[in-house]
A and B are shown apart, each in its own frame.
Chain A
Amino acid sequence: MSLSDLIVMILGVALTIMVFSYILGDRLFFGIATHILIGVSAGFLTLVTIQKVILPLLVAPLSSPAAPGFLLALVPMTLSILLILMLFRRGVQAGAIPLALLSGVLAALAIIGVTRGTLAPQLLSIFSRFDPAQLIQEAEPQWSSLFEAMMILLGVISVLFVFHHQGKTKTGGVVRPVFLEGIGSIGQIFIGITFGALFVGLFSTALIALINSLSDIITFLKLWF
C-alpha cells in the first residue's frame, strides 16, 4: 500500500467516523464532513461545468466570430447574462426569460417523451396481455396468463383511482362514490405492496453502503491491530 493510498484510507475512515458521529448527537464533526462534501462537490462540479460546458458550448463559438456558430452562441450568451443578473436584487425579474425558455423546452420534451416513452408502451403492455395468441396456446386457455392480465389491469386501474380526488366537497373533505372508494382501497393495497418493495430496496441499498463503510473502518483497524 502506497503512502497516498494510506492517506486516502485514513482520510476516508476519518470522514466516515465524522459522519457517523451524527448518531451520537454530534453536530460539529458531522457538519464539518458535510460542508467539506458540499465544498468539494461544488468546486468539482464548477470545474467540470466550466471546462466541459461553458468553454466548448459558449466561449469557443464566441471566440471565433467567423465561425457559423457565433451568431447562434449570442443567444445563450444574452440569456446567460440575464441569468447572472439574478444574483442581484434588481435583476431577478430578468431571469424569467431564460427560465421560461428552459421550462418551455423541457415541457415540450416531456410531452413527447412521456407520451412515446411511458404512456403508450405501458398501456400497450397492459392490453397486449389480453392478446389471444398469448392467452390461448395450443387450443388451451392459459388461465394463469388470463389471471395475471386481469390482475394487472385491475391493479393499474385501481391505483389510478387512488389519485382520483374529484368529488363533492363536504366540509373540506372529498366525498367520492362508494365504488370509487372500493376501487381506491384495492389500489391502496397494490401501492402498499410497491412501497413495501421500495422500502426494502432503499434499506438494502443503505445497508450495503453502511456495511461498506463499516468494512472500510474494520479494514483500516485491522491494519494496525
Chain B
Amino acid sequence: MTDDHPVVHLCPVCGKENLPMNTRCVHCGAEMESLFTFDGLPSTPLEDDEHSLPDIIEDIRNDPALRTPAEPDEEAASPTEEGLTAQGAGIDSSPEWLSKVRQRARGEEDAVGGLVSGINAMDALRSEEGSAGLEGEFTAWISRIREQNQQENSSRFRQQQNEVEEPGEVPEWLQRIRALRLPTYDGNTQESESKKTYPNGVPQEWTDEALMELRRQALAEEGAEESEELPQDVASGEEEEPATALGSDDFSDAPEPESEHSEEPFHNIPEDEKSAEVNHPDATVDEYLTASAEQAQAGAHELPETEEMSMPEALPEEQAAESQGETQSVTPEPSEKTADAEVDSAETLAADDSEAQESTKPDDAPELEQPRDSSSVLPDLLLLRDQQNRANLLASLIEQEGREIAGRQPSKQLSGKGGRIAVALLLIIGLVVSMLIGHDAPTVSLPMSVPAGALNARVSSLTKADQVLVVLDYQAAASRELETLAAPVLKTMRAQGAELIFLTAQPSGLFLGQSLLEKAGLSADTKIEYLPGSYLSLIGWAMNPAAPADLNPTLANSQLAKHSLSSFGLILLISDSSENVRGWLEQIAPWQASSTFAAVTTQMEAPVLAPYFDSGQLVGYAFALADGSPGAAAAFSFRAYRVGLLLMLAMLVLSAIAKADADAVRREEERAK
C-alpha cells in the first residue's frame, strides 16, 4: 500500500528522494526501477521491455522466488489489486501436489465441488490472460500512458509539496478521499459504474481531465461543445484503467498535485474570478454578464481557458463531493439535504474561513462520516452563488442606468432646474439692466435687407390710383414685432395716397388690428373685416372675378364686393406664419397675374420666405428690425436686443467649448486606458 507515501525511493544515481511511483528520478532523470515493482517481484521496465505481458506472467509463474508463499493473510486483508495480485501469485505458487489435485479435479468435475470449480475458473481466466496477445499489448500501451501521467503528476506534486508542505505530509482532504475510496473499491465498483455516466466507472487515476469530467457530470453540465477535448482525454484515461485494475499507485497519485489547495479550500473563488477577468479583458459587460450568468446557471459551464486555470483548484472539494456521492451509495443512511440547502449551509459555513477549514479537517470521527462534513461546504457552488449574485447586481445596475431612481430624481431635477433658472435670470437681468441704464434707446440706422429694400421700393412706387389689400394674419404673440415692422410700411403707403383695404384672416386680427392702425397713424374708423377661411374664400373669386357674388355670402356683404381682386396692385400679407403666406402664394397668386404680393413677417419665418422672393413670387418682404427703421428703433430698446443676442452667442460658444473639452477629456481617458 502506498496510500500516504510514507516511503520514498532513493535515486540510485543522485541518492535523492523520489516518490514510489516515479519511474525516473525527478532530480537527475535517472531511471527508477521501483515503479510497478511488487514486493518480491523483479522490476520490469515497460518502456524498454520487448516482452509481452503473457511472457512476463509466464516468467513470474516460472520464477522460483515466487513460488514461496508471500504472507497470504496480510495480503488477503487488502482489497486492492496489489493484494489480489499477490494472492494470485500465492495461488500460482502452490505446491505441486496441489496442482495435481486441481488437474484431477478438472477431469472429474463432479467430484470437486463448488469451491474447486471457482478456483478452476480463476485459473482458466489467468491462463487466458496469459495467452491473449492483443489484450496484452493493449494493457502494455495503457500502462505506458499511465506511467507518463504519473510522471507528470509526481513532478507537479513535488513542486507543490516543496512549496507548501513538508515532504511526505499528506493533506487531510486526501486522507479523507482515500478513506472514502476504500469501501468503494471493496465491493461497490460495479455499482458506481452503473450510476456514473463515466464509461468505465470512477477513474482510478485522478488526472485533470478525468476530474474535470467528473465535475462536469456532477454539476450536470450541458455545455459539451466547449469541452470537446475533454471526452477524448478522459477516454484515454479511462481506457488505461480497467474497472477491476485499481492500482493503489494510480489511486494515490492523482490528488497529490492539488495538495497545495487543500489548505485553502475556498481559494478557488478569487482565482476563478481572476481567471475570468484575465480571460475577458476586452469583453464587454454583456459578454461578461452572459458568461457569469451561464456559469451561475449551468454550474460548471466554464470557458475553456478558465477551466484549465480553475479546475485544479476546485478539485479537492469536488473529489470530496464525488466521494460523498459514492459514499452515499455505500452508507445506509441517505442524504436528506437538497442542493439548495447545501449551498445555503455552505454559504453560512463559508462566511468564516476557519469554520470552513474545520469542516474539511479530519477528526477522530469514522471515515465514512468525514465526507458529509466536508461536503456540507461546496466551494464550487459557493462560487457560483457568488458569481450569480454579482452578475445579478451588475445586471440590475445596467438596467437601472438611465432610469430615474426615486431617491435620485429630485436632485437631478433640481440641478437641471437650477441651471435653467440661472440662465433665465441671467438673460432677464441683462435685458433689464440694458433697458434701465443709460439714456433712451439709441437710434439705429442700419441698412435694410435686400427683400426689405425691394418692398420699400415697391411701396414707394404706389400712387393714389393704387389699391392695396392689407391682410392681417398673425397672432398676439408676434403682434409687437409685426406692428413695429408694418407700421412704417403702412405709413409710407398712406403717404403715397394708396387706398388701403384691411382684411384679417385670423379672428385675433379684429382686436390686434386696432393697435396696428394706431401705430400706423391710420384712422381708428378704418374697417378691418374678418375673412372666414382666409384665402379659401377667395379662390373662386380669384379664378373668376365675374362669378355671382351671392354664391359667397362672406364676400357679398364685405367691402371687397366693391372691388375686384385683380384691382389690387399690391397684396400685403402681414403674417407670422410662412405657411399662410405660402397658401396665399400657392392658391391665390397663380390666378392673379396683375397683383403683386409682399409680406411683413417675423425674423423666424424670413428664411422660409426667401425662396419665394428669389423666384419673384414675393416682390419683397420686411422682417428685420432694421427693415422697419426708423420706427423700429424707436419702438423698443435695441440695446437690450443686442444684449440678448450677445448672451445667446456666448451660450453657443460655451456649448461648443464644453463639448470640445468633454471630447478631449474622453479621448485622454481612452488613451490612458
Asked whether the complex places CB atoms of A and B closer than 8 A, the reply is: yes
Stretch of A51-59, A81-89, A168-176, A177-185 lying at the B interface? A51-59
Taking the complex as formed, is A44 at the interface, i.e. its CB lies under 8 A from any CB of chain B? yes
Assess A201 versus B603: contact at CB under 8 Å? Given A56-B554, A117-B590: yes
Point out the residues of chain A lying under 8 angstroms from B436, CB to CB.
218
Taking the complex as formed, is A223 at the interface, i.e. its CB lies under 8 A from any CB of chain B? no
A117 to B539, CA, bound (A): 13
Assess A215 versus B636: contact at CB under 8 Å? Given A208-B480, A209-B480: yes
Chain A nearest Cβ from B51, distance in angstroms:
68
A68 to B507, CA, bound (A): 29
Chain A nearest Cβ from B79, distance in angstroms:
65
Taking the complex as formed, is B270 at the interface, i.e. its CB lies under 8 A from any CB of chain A? no
Which residues of B (485-535) have their CB < 8 Å from a CB of A?
507-508, 510, 530, 532-533
Chain A nearest Cβ from B477, distance in angstroms:
6
A56 to B533, CA, bound (A): 13
Chain A nearest Cβ from B30, distance in angstroms:
66
Chain A nearest Cβ from B617, distance in angstroms:
6
A216 to B376, CA, bound (A): 83
Chain A nearest Cβ from B356, distance in angstroms:
50
Q: Indicate if the CB atoms of A113 and B481 lie closer than 8 Å.
A: no
Taking the complex as formed, is A71 at the interface, i.e. its CB lies under 8 A from any CB of chain B? no
Q: Indicate if the CB atoms of A201 and B615 lie closer than 8 Å.
A: no
Taking the complex as formed, is B565 at the interface, i.e. its CB lies under 8 A from any CB of chain A? no
A123 to B432, CA, bound (A): 47
Q: Indicate if the CB atoms of B553 and A201 lie closer than 8 Å.
A: no
Chain A nearest Cβ from B552, distance in angstroms:
9
Point out the residues of chain B lying under 8 angstroms from A197, CB to CB.
606-607
Chain A nearest Cβ from B172, distance in angstroms:
58
Q: Indicate if the CB atoms of B421 and A24 lie closer than 8 Å.
A: yes
Chain B nearest Cβ from A68, distance in angstroms:
7
Assess A68 versus B550: contact at CB under 8 Å? Given A205-B478, A210-B644: yes
A207 to B642, CA, bound (A): 10
Point out the residues of chain B lying under 8 angstroms from A114, CB to CB.
586
The contact of A125 among B421, B585, B615, by CB within 8 Å, is: B615
Chain A nearest Cβ from B447, distance in angstroms:
17
Point out the residues of chain A lying under 8 angstroms from B557, CB to CB.
56
Q: Indicate if the CB atoms of A201 and B616 lie closer than 8 Å.
A: no
Q: Indicate if the CB atoms of B532 and A117 lie closer than 8 Å.
A: no
Point out the residues of chain B lying under 8 angstroms from A68, CB to CB.
550
Chain B nearest Cβ from A169, distance in angstroms:
25
A116 to B586, CA, bound (A): 7
A114 to B603, CA, bound (A): 24
Tally of contact residues, B, Cβ under 8 A:
58
Taking the complex as formed, is A198 at the interface, i.e. its CB lies under 8 A from any CB of chain B? yes
Which residues of B (595-619) have their CB < 8 Å from a CB of A?
602-608, 611-612, 614-617
Q: Indicate if the CB atoms of B428 and A214 lie closer than 8 Å.
A: yes
Assess A117 versus B585: contact at CB under 8 Å? Given A24-B421, A209-B480, A215-B435: yes
Point out the residues of chain A lying under 8 angstroms from B510, CB to CB.
48
Residue of B nearest to A56 (CB): B553
A86 to B549, CA, bound (A): 33
A202 to B432, CA, bound (A): 21
Taking the complex as formed, is B417 at the interface, i.e. its CB lies under 8 A from any CB of chain A? yes
Which residues of B (46-100) have their CB < 8 Å from a CB of A?
none
Taking the complex as formed, is B640 at the interface, i.e. its CB lies under 8 A from any CB of chain A? yes
A192 to B611, CA, bound (A): 17
Assess A211 versus B641: contact at CB under 8 Å? Given A198-B604, A203-B648, A205-B604: yes
Taking the complex as formed, is B227 at the interface, i.e. its CB lies under 8 A from any CB of chain A? no
Chain B nearest Cβ from A124, distance in angstroms:
7
Assess A52 versus B603: contact at CB under 8 Å? Given A113-B587, A205-B481: no
Q: Indicate if the CB atoms of A212 and B480 lie closer than 8 Å.
A: yes
Chain B nearest Cβ from A27, distance in angstroms:
12
Chain B nearest Cβ from A54, distance in angstroms:
10
A125 to B640, CA, bound (A): 39
Point out the residues of chain B lying under 8 angstroms from A210, CB to CB.
427-428, 431, 644
B interface residues (Cβ-Cβ under 8 A, vs A): 417, 420-421, 424-425, 427-428, 431-432, 435-436, 477-478, 480-481, 484, 507-508, 510, 530, 532-533, 536, 539, 550-551, 553-554, 557, 582-583, 585-587, 589-590, 602-608, 611-612, 614-617, 623, 625, 636-637, 640-641, 644-645, 648
20 contacts across the A-B interface (CB closer than 8 A): A23-B424, A23-B428, A25-B421, A52-B507, A109-B536, A112-B587, A117-B585, A118-B586, A122-B615, A124-B615, A197-B607, A198-B607, A201-B623, A203-B644, A203-B648, A205-B481, A210-B427, A214-B431, A214-B435, A214-B640
Having A117-B587, A121-B615, A201-B605, one finds 12 other A-B pairs with CB under 8 Å, namely A23-B420, A23-B424, A53-B532, A69-B551, A113-B586, A118-B586, A124-B615, A204-B603, A210-B427, A211-B636, A212-B636, A214-B431
A interface residues (Cβ-Cβ under 8 A, vs B): 23-25, 44-45, 48-49, 52-53, 56-57, 60-61, 68-69, 109, 112-114, 116-118, 121-122, 124-125, 194, 197-198, 200-205, 207-212, 214-215, 218
10 A-B pairs closest in CB distance: A117-B586, A113-B586, A125-B615, A201-B603, A48-B507, A204-B603, A207-B644, A201-B604, A202-B604, A205-B604
